[in-house]
Amino acid sequence: MKITVKDIQGICLMAISGRIDSNNSVDLESALYKAINENSRIIMDLADAEYISSSGLRVLLAGKKMLKERDGEMILISLQPVVRDVFEIAGLGRLFLIRKSWEDALPAMKFRP
């Protein structure tokens, strides 16, 4: 798994590539918590994420909870079908804002109270 973090227009863009599983979910957790401590608005690009396990889902749920407590937001973008299926099967598709692209996510991020 590779994690790339950029600040764009005051929003943290985290791009994840590879497999998100129990072997590396701690790395994702560290990167996400660091990003949350620096920015309350996060867009996570999963276009190159090949797979996400339950441990990866747990990290994203914990991050979403932390952001909610800080009036922040996390939007997931560009989910591959296999990753989207995992979210749907786990019943998490409705808990996360999911958009097709950065451009689709920006209005949802900027205009949320």
| 3-class secondary-structure state, position 40 | coil
How is the chain split into domains, by residue range? 2-107
Q: Which two tokens stand for residue 112?
A: 């949320």
* Domain 2-107 belongs in CATH node 3.40.50.10810: no
Encode pLDDT of 43-87 as tens digits: 999 999 999 999 999 999 999 999 999 889 999 999 999 999 999
Q: Which two tokens stand for residue 73?
A: 């937001």
Confidence of residue 110 (pLDDT cuts 50, 70, 90): low
pTM: 0.89
The DSSP symbol for 58 reads H
